[in-house]
Amino acid sequence: MRLLLIEDDPEAARFVLKGLREGGYSVEHAADGRDGLFRATEGKYDAIITDRMLPHMDGLAIVQVLRQQGCDTPVLVLSALGNVDDRVRGLRAGGDDYLTKPFAFVELLARVEALLRRKAGPQATTTLKVGDLELDLLGRRARRAGREIDLTSKEFTLLEFLVRRAGQVVTRTMLLEGVWDLQFDPQTNLIDVHISRLRQAVDRGFDRVLIHTVRGAGYVVRDDGT
Amino acid sequence: MAPSERPPFSNSFRTSAFRLAIAYCLLFTVSVSALLGAIYLITGSVLANEVDNVILIELDALADEYDREGQDGIIAELTRLRESWGRAGAIYLLVDPSLAKRAGNLTAWPFNGVPKERWLEFDIEALRDGGIVRDPVRARVVEFPDGYRLLVGTEVSERRQFQQRFRSATLWAIGSTALLGALMGLWLSRRLMARVRAISTACQQIVAGDFARRLPVGGSRDEFDALAVAVNHVLTRLDQQTATVRATFDSAAHDLRGPLFRLRGRLEELQGSTALNAEGRSSIDRALKDIDSVQRTLAILLQIAQAESGAALAESARLDLGELVQEITELYEPAARAQGLSLDCDVERSWVNGHRQLLTQLLANLIENAVNYAGPGALIHVTVRTNAEGVRLQVADNGPGIPVEDRERALRPFVRLSSAKSTGSGLGLSLVAAIARLHQARLLLEDNAPGLCVVVQFQATRPENAPQKHAVPALPTPRVNATA
């Protein structure tokens, strides 16, 4: 997987590059907007990560130019700006995801992974399966080992979100954005309580746990196999 | 801002322009009435004097004739007068002491006995226009030494008619003056109202976030244009200042978040290194948590700044507050239950114009506050209701509440009322107040007896963001009230 990072802060770039490379990606780096746009149009990348405020050219302008040229490479916009509407503007300009600095590196990693998977395309399907857990998306019912699981509508949406991204780390902010459609940073850890209730329903009484906690990052639904 | 404070432009009759016009109209009508009344009275008395003078002169002349020529002379004179073309409407009658007619153009003495008044008025019957008409007569009588009496008078029907016509003309004139004045007043007030309404609508749109809008300048260089130009000047100035402040905040955010990001990066790198013992790892964990908390405070400060600048209104849309409240209450409910509190909501579909993300933050802050301060076992009840004023959001708990004297203070930045719980930055309610202000909503801290009841009262919205035609809110004023 080839990624392009457009970031003018050398220290931040070093840290992000190191982390992404450790995560198994091959990453190229552009230090200003003009160079970034040039590389983005020339090279073949699976995803682009760009800062918003860059010398010569703004990050959002890069995204707009790319989209006008018909390039559909997923773009993750990083921003140190404070405006609550920056995210909306970033997405409107054609960005696929938006992350405000500072962020935990796992957050970036999880989002990059989600972008790359999304590029692979969502499969049009009516059932999802992980191990012996089966989700009927039309009837909005979940069964585990053939037994119906009693879930509220929100719990089903939460489980569906996780199962669709089976094997991927999903962070708490991603869940807030994706399941609750909320962009805010709650003081208390609300998501953990919801997950633990979901666990009660899905994993209790089974030897094989499907919903795993990734320490310091979030959650992953995964069938570890036997 | 209560709806009663809104200027009611719906009614033309309540504008000051109309009232002024009506006052002028009344004054003018009274003056015209006085003038015409005076003319009427003066004309009447002049006409009456003229009639009386003629009668007196003729009476004197005839009395002289009587003195000189005696009865026969005057009878001859009266006959001559009757048969010649004398003055118009002249009436003569000479009677003997028994009041029997001796000469003149009246058929008989028109009175019973001898009247005491010097000036007499009576009606005579005359053949005119093929019928009998009664004509008024004004007359004077002299008594001669031999007991004969002479009556000289004038038929005054024309004078009466003239007076009547004058009177009705006067009344018509007064009436039309009043009507015309009232119509002018109405027209004037409508015209003024249209200008004022245009200005109010523009102001309202500016308050609602359209900061590029300016007050309309008609080009007639009247006092309204002068006012609009002056206000537009102020608006441009404010716009420049807001832009400067926003740019400052953006660069402050950028300059603070950059180093924080680098700090975080280094700490995370350190955390990943294997050379670290458990103690070092936990220090780094704590440092990362501190960064999170700094970041959160910074985010709240920026949100307050953004809400206060009003720029966020550009992204506002019509949304169902009831649905949003339900969503957030459900999000917080399990966490509240885990802390031994009960959190529920009772909502109805209630539309407000708002910034979804900031309203989410407002709700989250109110619920987090209630969860943090109401204490274990407390009940937190969130309601959303559409009422006459708009939409009322209420977060009530049965915890210790806030004493009346502390309520104003509770809304100030960095104020924590309870030292027992030092979680949070102390900015929560300030942010709530700023977001409420941005939405032109009133924030009230009320007594839930026992407990605290935080009320956010939104104003009524119209569908499609349409400017409200009738109820125009005034420019925003601090709307943070603490009431008992």
B2 band by pLDDT with thresholds 50, 70 and 90? very low
At which residue do the structure tokens 């908390």 appear? B293
Q: Do B261 and A103 touch (CB under 8 A)?
A: yes
Whether B88 and B213 map to the same domain: the answer is no
| Contact criterion met (CB < 8 Å) for A188 and B368 | yes
Q: Give CA–CA dist B236/B216, Å, rounded.
A: 14
Which of B 66-95 lie inside 8 A of A, CB atoms?
none
Q: Which residues of A touch B334 (CB under 8 A)?
A: 190, 193-194, 197
Instruction: Give pLDDT, residue B482.
Output: 42
Cβ contacts below 8 Å, chain A against chain B, sum to 115
Q: Which A residues in the span 165-224 are in contact with B, Cβ-Cβ below 8 Å?
A: 180-190, 193-194, 197
What is the model's pLDDT at position B420?
Answer: 46
Give the residue from B249, B251, B260, B262 with the most A CB atoms within 10 Å of its CB, the best one to mutate: B262
Residue B266's identity, in one-letter code, is R
Question: What confidence tier does B462 reach under pLDDT thresholds 50, 70, 90?
Answer: low
Q: List CB contacts (< 8 A) between A18 and chain B.
A: 269
B313, B342, B377: which is the final residue of a domain?
B313
Which residues, including other chains, have CB under 8 Å from residue B3's CB and lie 6 or more apart? B388, B389, B471
Query: Does B253 contact chain A (CB < 8 Å)?
Result: yes
The parent domain of residue B228 ranges over 208-313
With 0.80 as the threshold, say if the pTM is over it: no
Task: Tell me how far apart the alpha carbons of residues A32 and B311 are, in angstroms, rounded to a whole number.
Answer: 29
Which pLDDT belongs to residue A36? Answer: 92
Element (H, E) at A28: strand A26-30
A168-172, B12-16, B39-43, B127-131: segment of lowest average pLDDT: B12-16
pLDDT band at B32 (very low <50, low <70, confident <90, very high): confident
CATH 3.40.50.2300 residue window(s) in chain A? 2-120
For the ranges A117-121, B21-25, B42-46, B375-379, which has the lowest average pLDDT?
Answer: A117-121
- Pairing of the two strands B390-397 and B379-386: antiparallel
Q: Are residues B367 and B440 in the same domain?
A: yes
Between B235 and B480, where is the model more confident?
A: B235
Indicate whether B91 and B16 sit together in one domain: yes
B78 backbone dihedrals φ, ψ, rounded to 5°:
-65, -40
Do B126 and B12 lie in one domain? The reply is yes
What's A127-221's CATH class? Answer: mainly alpha
User: Would you say residue B353 has pLDDT above 70?
Assistant: yes
- The residue-averaged pLDDT of B437-451 equals 88
Tens digit of pLDDT at every position of chain A (226 positions)? 899 999 999 988 998 999 999 989 999 999 999 999 999 998 789 999 999 888 888 899 999 999 999 888 999 999 887 677 778 888 888 889 999 888 888 899 999 999 998 776 666 788 888 988 999 999 999 999 888 999 999 999 999 999 999 999 999 999 998 998 888 777 778 899 999 999 999 998 888 899 999 887 899 999 876 5
Residue B478 pLDDT grade (very low, low, confident, very high; cuts 50, 70, 90): very low
Mean of all residue pLDDT scores within chain B: 82
> With helix as H, strand as E and coil as C, how does B252-283 read?
HHHHHHHHHHHHHHHHHHHHHCCCCCHHHHHH
- Nearest chain B residue to A13, by CA: B262
Whether B41 and B137 share a structural domain: yes
Domain boundary among B192, B207, B222: B207
Interface test with A, best of B246, B331, B372 (most A CBs within 10 A): B331
B455 contacts B444 by C-beta, under 8 angstroms? yes
B99-149 residue pLDDT tens: 888 888 888 888 888 888 888 888 888 777 777 888 888 899 888 888 888
Region B294-309 average pLDDT: 82
Higher pLDDT among residues B477 and B272, named by residue: B272
Chain B hits for A98, CB-CB cut-off 8 Å, are none
Q: DSSP states of B220-242 as a string?
A: S-SHHHHHHHHHHHHHHHHHHHH
Q: What is the enclosing helix (H) or strand (E) of B180?
A: helix B157-207
Probe site for chain B from A175, A188, A197, A215 (most B CB atoms < 10 A): A188
Cα separation, A74 vs A69, whole angstroms? 14
Question: What's the CA angle centered on A105, arms A103 and A111, to 5 degrees?
Answer: 85
CB within 8 Å of chain B, chain A residues 105-144 = 105
CATH number at residue B240: 1.10.287.130
| Mean pLDDT on B355-369 | 90
B186, B18 in Cβ contact below 8 A?
A: yes
CA distance A81 to A83: 6
Using a CB–CB cutoff of 8 Å, tell me whether B312 touches chain A: yes
Please give the pLDDT value at position B125: 82
pLDDT of residue B85: 67
User: Do B279 and B408 sit in the same domain of this protein?
Assistant: no
Q: Do A180 and B314 touch (CB under 8 A)?
A: no
In chain A, residues under CATH classification 1.10.10.10 are 127-221
The Cα A208–Cα B255 span in angstroms is 48
Q: What is the per-residue pLDDT across B416-443, written as a single tens digit (0 to 9) for each?
A: 665 444 455 677 888 899 899 888 899 9
- List the A47-51 sheet strands across, edge first: A26-30, A2-6, A47-51, A75-79, A97-100
CATH of the domain at B440: 3.30.565.10
- The CATH H-level (homologous superfamily) assignment of domain A2-120 is Response regulator (3.40.50.2300)
The three-state secondary structure class of B308 is: helix
Chain B residues lying within 8 Å of A193, measured CB to CB: 334-335, 338
Region B337-357: what's the mean pLDDT? 91
The predicted pLDDT at position B63 comes to 87
A103–B298 CB contact, under 8 Å: no
pLDDT digits (tens, 9 = 90+) for A66-115: 999 988 899 999 988 767 777 888 888 888 999 988 888 889 999 999 99
Task: Supply the pLDDT for residue B98.
Answer: 86
B334 contacts A194? CB cut-off 8 A: yes
| Mean per-residue pLDDT, B181-189 | 84
Q: Tell whether the model's pLDDT for residue B40 goes beyond 90.
A: no
Which of A19, A82, A88 faces B250 most closely, judged by CB atoms? A82
